[in-house]
Chain A
Amino acid sequence: MIWNDWLVALAPEWILLVGACLSLAVGVTRVSKWASPIALATVVAALIVAIRLDVPRNGDVLPGLWLTSLTFYVRWITLGLGSLIVLVNWHQPAANERGEYMSMILFSLLGVLLTASANDLVVLFLAIELVSIPTYVLVALSREDARASEAAVKYFFLGALSAAILAYGISFLYGAAGTTTIHRLVGDTVQSTLRTNGAIGVPMLIGLILVFAGLSFKVAAVPFHAYAADVYEGAASPVTGMLGFVPKLAGFVALCKILTALDWNLPSEVNWMLWIVAAATMTVGNVLALLQKNVKRMLAYSSIAHTGYMLIAVLVGPVAGQGPMRDGVAALLFYIVVYGAMNLGAFALLACFKTNGRDVETLDDLGGLARRAPASALALAICIFSLMGFPPTAGFLGKLYIFSSAFSLQPNHPMHGPLIALAIIGVANTVIGAAYYLRIVAAVYMGGETDTATPVGGRPVRWGLALCSLPLLVLFAWPTGLTTQVRTATTILHHSIRTGSRRVAAAIDSVRTAPTDVAPATVSQAAATYEHHANP
């Protein structure tokens, strides 16, 4: 491809890059307060370009980058929610730090866009770090409080460790596959390069486990969840709203890419590892959230619990059929955008008020807010009910899609029974979760009056709050727009799992689990199938 086409195909990325540099440059001048409008204009411009952009999808493999329908979907939701993130953060940084602050948000969004188009392990690794590194800076910059710098230290060192583990895992994936390219286009079919001969050897297994460990930090899954509560409490609320969505989205997109390269057919060890992680993440998140009095810590544990729900969808994968009711990845893509909006909305409300000169943080601080600010309280209630998974909000649909995708697996799928059990654990966890979410709503509507809560932040953050909460109701009434998009986004996965290697892998797995007396016939069949696909 000539460089001209590169420029067009990656237009949203270029716009973000230019906008980030511009906002950084404005930050050192005396008009640094213009950084916020510049950031918003950049994200909105990138969003418009991303929607209007007309380039062939799935058609061509650029070196290291590959624009699939998934890339386009992730671009839209990142930039759409990115504009809300900029709105919520509008007044947060000190005026002389606004340029750096806004450019960090833009670089982080750019990282998500690149993660979505990466087709090479190196690009994927660097893109994920481009998402993470600016967030460390944002946590440190977010407010003048010793707790913020302490949160930054904890977040940075654990993040750096996860990056190092990810790099070590990627080195094993490279060693096992012999290439860093994730997919290759052979004729008309997509070929995943990580699993060229059906079986998974020991180096690949080590690599996969290390990569999952590295990514589970980004998505805040057990056992790498411990940082979340401290970081969420230490950072200012608007940054926390971003931390719940942006790194999680990048982590899940990367996870989907690695799993697609394995044709969504994992060895049973890895399947069970993911199963245990998902069950533990949901349960630990919800149970620890019950014990919290600080709303930010509560929402931090709730974000861990939501990672657990999303991991169910990852484990289901796209194998059961198309559409979010049956396709786990489509359900994940639907859920994550809804989660991003409702989580950002809840933190946006905390950013709207101050009490006695400090940020609103505890349940007592929120007491009786409904009488003083009924509109903001209603918006918070919508977001909280959506996090709870209660109709009529989009959070209900998101949970419905994830659980129904787990129930729609074929009975011959190796994880059929365990995944139904996992979905039941998920439903039970939703009920536990309702207990602490209702405490927030009860404090706002029935708690004692606090006279000290004063509105701060001005209009942009309130617009951000409104734009986070209203779509949750609209999406419940008309989910078709988004469900069509997620169905389109996952077509590429359905194409890639229909290629030969999956059938080979399935045949080999069936041999592995077959009883010995029927094995000989099946083994020879599988061997024949394997030979046929390996050496056509």
Chain B
Amino acid sequence: MTIGLTHYLVVAAVLFAAGLFTMMTKRNAIGILIGVELVLNSANVNLVAFDRYLGPGRLDGQITALFVIVLAAAEAALAVGICINVYKNLSTVDVDTATRLQG
């Protein structure tokens, strides 16, 4: 069996679903961040796979993937900052305890 584009797309789709599942089930803010990273990486797998299989001489997808990685790093830094801010206020990063805002 040769590995084709579809296989990569399936792997990406599984990553995407795993990321969404992680975000919905984790209660720790860092756990949710890991879910976001999984979803972002599913996009990267897709981009690089399309790049490889659409034909030679393309770099758009790989460059896009690089930028998505940079964005993921920026978001991770911000997430940690926001988590520290919450920890100072609530002494925990469990999102279930953050219930002041409910209308």
Which A residues contact B (CB, under 8 angstroms)? 121-122, 125-126, 129, 133, 136-137, 140, 146-147, 149-154, 156-157, 160-161, 163-165, 167-168, 170-172, 174-175, 178-180, 229-230, 233-234, 292, 294, 297
Q: Inter-chain contact count A-B, CB under 8 Å? A: 129
**Cβ contact of B103, chosen from A151, A153, A170, A233, cutoff 8 A:** A233
Asked whether, in the complex, the Cβ of B98 is within 8 Å of the Cβ of A150, the reply is yes
A296 — nearest CB in chain B belongs to which residue?
A: B103
Asked whether, in the complex, the Cβ of B75 is within 8 Å of the Cβ of A171, the reply is no
Which B residues contact A (CB, under 8 angstroms)? 12, 16, 19-20, 23, 29, 32-33, 35-36, 39-40, 42-44, 46-47, 50, 54-55, 58, 60-61, 63-64, 67-68, 71, 74-75, 78-79, 81-83, 85-86, 88-90, 95, 98, 100-103
User: Are A180 and B60 also in contact (CB < 8 A) when A140-B85, A167-B43 are?
Assistant: yes
Asked whether, in the complex, the Cβ of A136 is within 8 Å of the Cβ of B82, the reply is yes
B49 — nearest CB in chain A belongs to which residue?
A: A175
Asked whether, in the complex, the Cβ of B46 is within 8 Å of the Cβ of A297, the reply is no
Asked whether, in the complex, the Cβ of A168 is within 8 Å of the Cβ of B63, the reply is no
User: Are A160 and B86 also in contact (CB < 8 A) when A171-B43, A171-B46, A230-B101 are?
Assistant: no
Asked whether, in the complex, the Cβ of B46 is within 8 Å of the Cβ of A233, the reply is no
B99 — nearest CB in chain A belongs to which residue?
A: A150
Asked whether, in the complex, the Cβ of A153 is within 8 Å of the Cβ of B71, the reply is no
Q: How far is the CA of A172 from the CA of B49 in the complex (A)?
A: 11
Asked whether, in the complex, the Cβ of B43 is within 8 Å of the Cβ of A153, the reply is no
Asked whether, in the complex, the Cβ of B39 is within 8 Å of the Cβ of A168, the reply is yes
User: Are A167 and B86 also in contact (CB < 8 A) when A157-B36, A160-B79, A233-B103 are?
Assistant: no
Asked whether, in the complex, the Cβ of A178 is within 8 Å of the Cβ of B54, the reply is yes
Asked whether, in the complex, the Cβ of A147 is within 8 Å of the Cβ of B64, the reply is no
The residues of A that contact B16 with a CB separation of less than 8 Å are: 168
**Cβ contact of B78, chosen from A133, A149, A179, A294, cutoff 8 A:** A133
Asked whether, in the complex, the Cβ of A133 is within 8 Å of the Cβ of B74, the reply is yes
Q: How far is the CA of A152 from the CA of B79 in the complex (A)?
A: 10
Q: Most B CB atoms within 10 A — which of A125, A154, A164, A174?
A: A164
Asked whether, in the complex, the Cβ of A164 is within 8 Å of the Cβ of B64, the reply is no
Asked whether, in the complex, the Cβ of A133 is within 8 Å of the Cβ of B101, the reply is no
User: Are A153 and B95 also in contact (CB < 8 A) when A146-B89, A233-B103 are?
Assistant: yes
- B39 → A minimal CB distance (Å): 4
Asked whether, in the complex, the Cβ of A152 is within 8 Å of the Cβ of B85, the reply is yes
User: Are A157 and B103 also in contact (CB < 8 A) when A136-B78, A164-B39, A171-B43 are?
Assistant: no
The residues of B that contact A294 with a CB separation of less than 8 Å are: 103
The residues of B that contact A147 with a CB separation of less than 8 Å are: 100-101
The residues of A that contact B60 with a CB separation of less than 8 Å are: 122, 174, 179-180
Q: List 28 A-B contacts (CB under 8 A).
A: A136-B78, A136-B82, A140-B85, A146-B89, A149-B86, A149-B89, A150-B86, A150-B98, A152-B85, A153-B29, A153-B86, A157-B33, A160-B33, A160-B36, A161-B20, A164-B19, A168-B43, A171-B12, A171-B44, A171-B47, A171-B50, A171-B61, A171-B64, A174-B64, A178-B58, A180-B60, A229-B103, A234-B100
The residues of A that contact B20 with a CB separation of less than 8 Å are: 161
A178 — nearest CB in chain B belongs to which residue?
A: B54
Q: Which 9 A-B pairs have the closest CB atoms?
A: A164-B39, A171-B46, A167-B43, A175-B50, A230-B101, A146-B89, A150-B98, A168-B43, A160-B36
